[in-house]
């Protein structure tokens, strides 16, 4: 008789059958709600976990979320041929983009010892960078919109979650539009830094890339995920306007930053969406000339 619990993908199922030793298996990753960046129309889902007992091999499959229906081509197969040391890892390569899946793992010689992950997807990851205009997409802005079931938010707050309607109006509107258009999971990534500069005016500047805003972006959106993105959105400029940035300076700094984006993602053609400055008439610290210098640099870089 088997005994099990696997509600969130980190609970193991133990089995106790005549002549079979008791064991367990647990999933550490993928965490519930995680979206893996596609390459073309497929992606790689990385899986890690732990086990007890003596599995001959560790088998795994992908199923449609909430069902026992295998994703085509991803039914039970051996993923770890010689388990040892109580931990395991493997990947599903060429997993199709689409809806939500669950990862299931088990002992091959005691198939009652299983575990099931929360929902995981293959889709697109879009990183929001810049200053408050992007930062506030995720904070203190309510909306009557209902998040599309394919949309998740992730970022400097550290968890994959359904976007909060009480705070994430911008992220929800943006994610919903993409999910409706593409029909696949969309991760909207929160990596803007409030009141940040592009040029090296303070430690809250994106340049040099050893400063906090870029370090947090790289660690979270690149190293901490799949190492690649569908695109980056850059929404910034007001802070540099206040510092009287020239067109030439801002243009050169954009080049330095976007080169770093592409180098650190390993994507030489990674798209960067530029949101240019609008008119700004209510701040005595700036003039139309200041704003136009930065706006022209943004248009020039586009």
Tell me: the pLDDT tens digits for 174-185?
999 999 999 999
Stated pTM of the model: 0.90
Residue 284's pLDDT band (cuts 50, 70, 90): confident
What is the C-alpha separation between 186 and 128, in angstroms, rounded?
13
Residue reference for tokens 């008789």: 1
What is the C-alpha separation between 199 and 98, in angstroms, rounded?
40
β-pair type (151-155, 100-107) = unpaired
What is the C-alpha separation between 237 and 294, in angstroms, rounded?
7
The pLDDT value given to residue 9: 37
Q: For the segment 247-270, what is each residue's pLDDT rounded down to a tens digit?
A: 999 999 999 999 999 999 999 999
**Region 49-66: what's the mean pLDDT?**
98
The pLDDT value given to residue 10: 37
Cis peptide before 30 (omega within 30 of 0): yes
Residue 157's pLDDT band (cuts 50, 70, 90): confident
Q: For the segment 172-225, what is each residue's pLDDT rounded down to a tens digit?
A: 999 999 999 999 999 999 999 999 999 999 999 999 999 999 999 999 999 889
The pLDDT value given to residue 21: 53
SS3 content of the chain, % helix, strand, coil (to 5): 25, 35, 45
What is the C-alpha separation between 190 and 210, in angstroms, rounded?
19
| Cβ–Cβ < 8 Å for 264, 222 | yes
Q: For the segment 11-22, what is each residue's pLDDT rounded down to a tens digit?
A: 334 334 444 457
């Amino acid at each position: 008789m088997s005994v099990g619990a696997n509600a969130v993908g980190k609970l193991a199922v133990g089995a106790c059958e005549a002549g079979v030793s008791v064991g367990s298996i647990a999933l550490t990753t993928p965490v519930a709600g995680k979206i893996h960046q596609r390459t073309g129309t497929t992606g790689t889902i990385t899986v890690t976990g732990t086990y007890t007992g003596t599995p001959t091999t560790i088998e795994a499959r992908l199923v449609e979320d909430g069902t026992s229906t295998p994703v085509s081509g991803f039914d039970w197969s051996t993923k770890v041929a010689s388990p040892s040391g109580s931990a395991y890892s493997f990947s599903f390569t060429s997993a199709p983009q689409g809806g939500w899946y669950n990862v299931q793992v088990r002992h091959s010689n005691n198939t009652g010892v299983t575990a099931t992950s929360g929902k995981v997807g293959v889709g697109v990851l879009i990183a929001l960078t810049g200053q408050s205009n992007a930062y506030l997409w995720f904070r203190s802005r309510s909306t009557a919109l209902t998040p599309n079931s394919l949309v998740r938010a992730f970022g400097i707050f550290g968890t994959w979650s359904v976007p909060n309607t009480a705070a994430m109006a911008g992220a929800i509107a943006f994610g919903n539009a993409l999910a409706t258009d593409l029909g696949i999971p969309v991760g909207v990534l929160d990596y803007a830094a409030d009141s940040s500069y592009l040029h090296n005016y303070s430690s809250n500047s994106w340049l040099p890339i050893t400063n906090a805003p870029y370090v947090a972006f790289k660690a979270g959106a690149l190293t901490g995920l799949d190492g690649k993105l569908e695109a980056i959105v850059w929404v910034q400029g007001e802070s540099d306007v206040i510092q009287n940035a020239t067109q030439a300076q801002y243009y050169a700094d954009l080049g330095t930053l976007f080169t770093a984006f592409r180098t650190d993602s390993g994507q030489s053609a990674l798209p960067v969406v530029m949101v240019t400055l609008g008119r700004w008439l209510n701040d005595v610290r700036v003039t139309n000339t200041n704003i136009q210098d930065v706006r022209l640099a943004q248009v020039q870089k586009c």
